Amino acid sequence: MVQDLDGETERLRDAGPLARIELLGVPAWTVTRHAEARHLLLDTRLVKDLDAWGLWQSGEVTYAWPLIGMIDAGRSMFTVDGAEHRRLRTKTSQALTPRRLEEIRPDIERFTEELLDELAAQGKDGATVDLKSVFAQPLPMRVVGLLMGVDGSEHAMLTQRYKAFFSMLTPQEERLALLAELDVFYTRLVRDKAARPTDDLTTALILADEGGEPLTEEEVVGNLKAMVAAGHETTIGLILNAVRALLAHPDQLRMVLAGEVSWETVIEETLRWDTPTTHLLMRFATEDIQVGDDVIAKGEGVVISYRAIGRDTAQHGADADAFDITRAAPIRHMTFGHGPHICPGAALSRVEAAIALPALFGRFPGLRLAVADGEIRKLPVMTQNDMESFPVLLEG
C-alpha cells in the first residue's frame, strides 16, 4: 500500500484535473483539482447509485472486489441521490443541529480530560505513549457513541471491526462477514431504541417525521453504520495530522500557543494540507460528461481525490504543498465535500478538534514525537489517511 502520500498526491496532481486510475484492478477516473471537483460534485449526472456503474451491471465487478463494501454499504443517505437523499439526510440534520452540538460540548470536554488523564498516567516518568490509541482514537468513538446511544462497552468492538473493514490486508470473505456483523449489531440497536426511546441520534432517526415518509429500519441501520465510520475515522485523522504538522513546524506551534493564530486556523489548514480522507469512492456517470479534454463516459466510475485537491496550486497558491497557518484567510478547501453530499458530521469533527487540540497542548506543551517523523507508518487503507500509531513523549 502507498506509504508516500506526498508522492502519490504530486503524481495525481501532475496527471491533470481528471486522471485515469486503477483501483485494485478496476479502472476509474479521479478528480484532482479544486475547480473541477467543485463543478462535478454539483453535477446531477454523477450519482451514488451502484446500478449506474457499467462494470457492476456487466458483472465485471462483483462482491469479490475488496472495495465494494465502501460503495455498496446498504441503503442510506450516502448511497442515494435526489429526493431520496434529501429525505434521508433531513432526518440526520434534525439530529445533528448546532444546538445539539453545543449541548454535548461539556461531554466532549469531559471525555477529553479523562483521556488526557489516561495519557498522563501512561506517559509518566518519560515513558513513550501512543497518542492515537490512548487519545485520538477513543475520543471520537466516545462522542459518536454518545450521539448514537451506543454503550461504552461496545466501543472497542466497533473500533476493531471498522479497522479491519478498511484494511486492505483483510481477506474479502472476512470483510463481508464484518459487514454482516455490523448489520446485526445496528439492527439490534435500532430495535432496542424503537422499543425504549432515549435522547440520542438513533432514536431521533427512528422517530423523525419531517421531510417525507419515515425512515425504514434498513435506512436507519445504513445511516448509522456509515455515520459511525465517518464520524470517528475523520476526526482521528484530523487530530493526529494537526499534531504531526505542528510538531514538524515548531515556529508555527509557538505562534498558536502564544495566541497569535487561532486553533480554528490550525484545523482548517490541516484539513486542507493533510486531509483525513485521501480518496472518496465513488460516483457514476449517467451520461457522458465532458471535463476539459476528457470525457467521463456513461457508466464509468469517478473517485474524488481530496488530498490532491487540497494541494491544488491553482486554488491555494504556489506554496500549496507547505503547511502554513499564516496563509491568507479564509482557507477555502473542500475536505468535507461539496454540494448535496457534503459530510453531515463536518461541524462535529471541527468541534471535537477545537476542544481536543488546545486541551492536549495546554496539558502537555512539551509534547514531542518519540520517533523520527519518517518512521510513522500509514495503515494499509486506500481511502483514509490513517497511521498505525503515533508514539509521543509528553515532555520536551
Dihedral-angle region of residue 27 (phi above 0 means left; psi in -120 to 50 means alpha; beta otherwise):
beta
Three-state DSSP state, 277: strand
pLDDT at 36 over 80: yes
What is the number of alpha carbons within 13 Å of residue 127 lying toward its C-beta? 11
Q: What is the pLDDT of residue 134?
A: 98
Mean pLDDT (whole number) for 112-132: 97
Pair 348, 143: CB distance under 8 Å: yes
Where do we find the cell 482514537? 137
pLDDT, tens digit, 9 for 90 and up, residues 64-105: 999 998 898 778 888 899 988 888 888 777 667 888 889 999
pLDDT at 211 over 60: no
Cell output for 149: 446511544
**Between residues 380 and 283, the one the model is more confident about:** 283
The answer for residues whose C-beta is within 8 angstroms of residue 268's C-beta and 6 or more apart is 330, 331, 333
Amino acid of residue 187? T
Q: What is the pLDDT of residue 1?
A: 46
Q: Note the pTM of the prediction, 2 decimals.
A: 0.95
Q: Which of 113-127, 205-219, 262-276 has the lowest mean pLDDT?
A: 205-219
Q: Distance between CA 259 and CA 261 in Å, rounded?
A: 6
Q: What is the pLDDT of residue 210?
A: 55
Q: What is the pLDDT of residue 201?
A: 87
> 330 pLDDT band (50/70/90 cuts)?
confident
Pair 185, 221: CB distance under 8 Å: no
Mean pLDDT (whole number) for 321-344: 91
Three-state DSSP state, 368: strand
Q: What is the pLDDT of residue 2?
A: 63
Strand 294-296 and strand 18-23: pairing?
Answer: unpaired
Pair 172, 72: CB distance under 8 Å: no
Mean pLDDT (whole number) for 18-45: 96
Element (DSSP H or E) covering residue 20: strand 18-23
pLDDT, averaged across the chain? 92
Q: What are phi and psi of 387, to 5 degrees?
A: -105, 150
**DSSP string for residues in 151-209:** -GGGHHHHHHHHHHHH-TTS-HHHHHHHHHHHHHHHHHHHHHHHHS--SSHHHHHHH--
| Beta bridge mates, 19 | 30
